[in-house]
C-alpha cells in the first residue's frame, strides 16, 4: 500500500479543497427525494460540472479531468470532508457510466455521458422485481423482438427503483430469450422513463418521501441502439454494474471518515452522563472502522493501479461499509438520548443506513460469495430444478 502522494496529487488535493471551501452551500439542500430538493441537487450537479468537478476521472471531452484512481479517491475524501451535498446523479455516474465506458458503443457514450455529467439527465436503477427477492436472475420482465421497427418491446414491472420518482432515464435487465438458462437470455436496456407505455408510481418511505418507485412497462419500444452490451449479454453487463456498486465507486471511504469525525464531535459536545459513557466504545469502534476501510481502500487502489482487479473483494467491501454505517449511526442516536427521535441528519442517516445490507445485493448473498470465492468453502446447497420451495 502506497500512502505517499506525489506533488501533482497534493496540488490536486489543494485545488479540490479550495474549490469546495468556496462553493459548498452554507445550508443543507432539501432532500433529493422531494421535487424542491431534486431541483436543488440538479443545480448543484450543474455547478460541479461547470467547474469540471462532477466526474473527475472521466475524459475531458465528457466534462471530466482525466483524473487517476488515486486522484478520484482524494476528491471523494475532500468532498465528504467539506460536507458537500449528496449526489443525485450517482446511479448514472457511479454505476452506469463505468459500464458504458466498458460495454457501450461510441454512439451511446456520446449520447449519454455528457448529460449524465452535467446532471441534465438523471438515471434510475431498475433491477428489482416483485417476489424476486435478491435473486436477480429470477426476473420475469420480458423483451420481445420487434423486427419491423428494429428494436424491442418491454413488458413487466420493476420495484424499489432508486431515484425513479423524478429521474429521466432508467437502466435494467429484461428476459429476451425465455428458453435460455436463468443467467442467459437476459439483455440490458436503456430507456426513457417518459416513453409511451411506462408508468412510474412513487413509493413513500418511512419519512413520507419517495426515494424509490415502481415502474411498469407495457409494450415499451426500445430501439436496438439502446441495448447495452449486446443481446443476451445482460447478465455479464449487470455483474459489472454490481461490482461497481459493491466496490469502490458507490461508497468511497471519505463518506464514512467524515461521518466518523462528526460522531467524535458529537461525543465531545455531549454532556457527561450515562448516554455519553455508554457510547464511548461505539465512537472509538466507528472511527477505527472508518479508518480501517480507508486504508483497505488505499490498498485496493494500489492493487488496481498495479494491474489487479476488484474481483470478489467487492463483496467484502459491501458487507463492511454497510454494517459500519448502521453501527456508526446507532452510536450517534445513543449519544443524542431522548433527542434521537427528533428529526435530524443523524436520524435521516440511520434510516438510510438500514437499507445498506439490502441494496447492492444483500449481505447474505455477499457472505456466500466471500465464503465460496475467497475462502474456498463448499457451495451452499441449491434446490434442484423443479423442487418445491
Residues acting as catalytic residues: 245
Q: How far is CA 295 from CA 40, 227, 252, 288, 345, in A?
A: 34, 38, 11, 10, 26
CA 228 – CA 154 distance, rounded (Å): 15
Element spanning 87, H or E: none
CA 241 – CA 95 distance, rounded (Å): 6
291 in Cβ contact with 257 (< 8 Å) = yes
Other beta carbons within 10 angstroms of residue 70's beta carbon come to 19
Geometric angle at alpha carbon 244, from 241 and 247, rounded to 5°: 145
Strand, coil or helix: what is 101?
Answer: helix
CA 18 – CA 185 distance, rounded (Å): 50
Q: How far is CA 127 from CA 80, 113, 160, 161, 356, in A?
A: 28, 21, 8, 7, 16
353 in Cβ contact with 329 (< 8 Å) = yes
CA 147 – CA 356 distance, rounded (Å): 41
Amino acid at each position: 500500500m502506497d500512502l505517499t502522494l506525489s506533488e501533482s496529487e497534493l496540488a490536486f488535493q489543494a485545488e479540490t479543497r479550495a474549490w469546495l471551501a468556496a462553493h459548498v452551500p452554507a445550508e443543507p439542500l432539501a432532500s433529493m427525494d422531494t421535487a424542491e430538493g431534486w431541483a436543488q441537487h440538479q443545480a448543484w450537479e450543474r455547478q460541479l460540472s461547470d467547474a469540471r468537478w462532477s466526474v473527475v476521472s472521466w475524459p475531458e471531452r465528457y466534462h471530466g479531468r482525466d483524473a487517476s484512481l488515486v486522484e478520484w479517491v482524494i476528491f471523494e475524501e475532500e468532498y465528504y470532508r467539506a460536507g458537500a451535498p449528496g449526489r443525485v446523479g450517482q446511479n448514472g455516474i457511479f454505476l452506469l457510466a463505468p459500464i458504458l465506458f466498458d460495454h457501450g458503443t461510441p454512439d451511446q457514450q456520446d449520447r449519454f455521458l455528457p448529460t449524465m455529467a452535467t446532471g441534465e439527465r438523471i438515471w434510475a436503477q431498475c433491477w428489482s422485481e416483485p417476489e424476486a427477492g435478491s435473486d436477480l436472475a429470477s426476473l420475469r420482465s420480458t423483451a420481445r423482438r420487434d423486427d419491423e421497427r428494429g428494436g424491442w418491446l418491454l413488458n413487466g414491472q420493476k420495484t424499489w427503483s432508486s431515484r425513479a420518482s423524478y429521474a429521466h432515464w432508467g437502466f435494467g435487465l429484461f428476459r429476451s430469450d425465455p428458453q435460455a438458462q436463468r443467467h442467459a437470455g437476459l439483455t440490458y436496456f436503456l430507456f426513457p422513463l417518459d416513453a409511451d407505455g411506462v408508468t412510474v408510481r412513487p413509493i413513500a418511505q418511512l419519512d413520507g418521501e419517495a426515494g424509490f418507485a415502481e415502474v411498469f412497462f407495457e409494450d415499451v419500444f426500445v430501439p436496438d441502439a439502446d441495448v447495452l452490451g449486446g443481446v443476451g449479454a445482460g447478465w455479464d453487463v449487470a455483474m459489472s454494474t454490481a461490482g461497481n456498486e459493491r466496490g469502490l465507486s458507490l461508497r468511497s471511504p471519505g463518506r464514512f471518515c467524515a461521518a466518523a469525525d462528526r460522531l467524535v464531535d458529537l461525543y465531545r459536545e455531549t454532556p457527561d452522563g450515562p448516554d455519553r459513557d455508554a457510547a464511548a466504545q461505539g465512537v472509538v469502534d466507528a472511527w477505527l472502522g472508518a479508518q480501517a476501510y480507508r486504508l483497505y481502500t488505499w490498498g485496493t487502489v494500489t492493487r488496481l493501479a498495479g494491474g489487479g482487479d476488484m474481483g470478489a473483494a467487492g463483496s467484502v467491501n459491501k458487507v463492511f461499509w454497510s454494517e459500519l454505517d448502521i453501527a456508526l449511526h446507532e452510536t450517534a442516536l445513543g449519544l443524542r438520548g431522548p433527542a434521537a427521535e427528533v428529526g435530524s441528519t443523524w436520524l435521516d442517516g440511520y434510516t438510510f443506513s438500514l437499507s445498506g445490507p439490502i441494496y447492492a445485493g444483500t449481505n447474505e448473498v455477499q457472505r456466500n460469495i466471500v465464503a465460496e470465492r475467497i475462502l474456498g468453502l463448499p457451495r451452499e446447497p441449491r434446490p434442484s430444478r423443479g423442487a418445491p420451495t
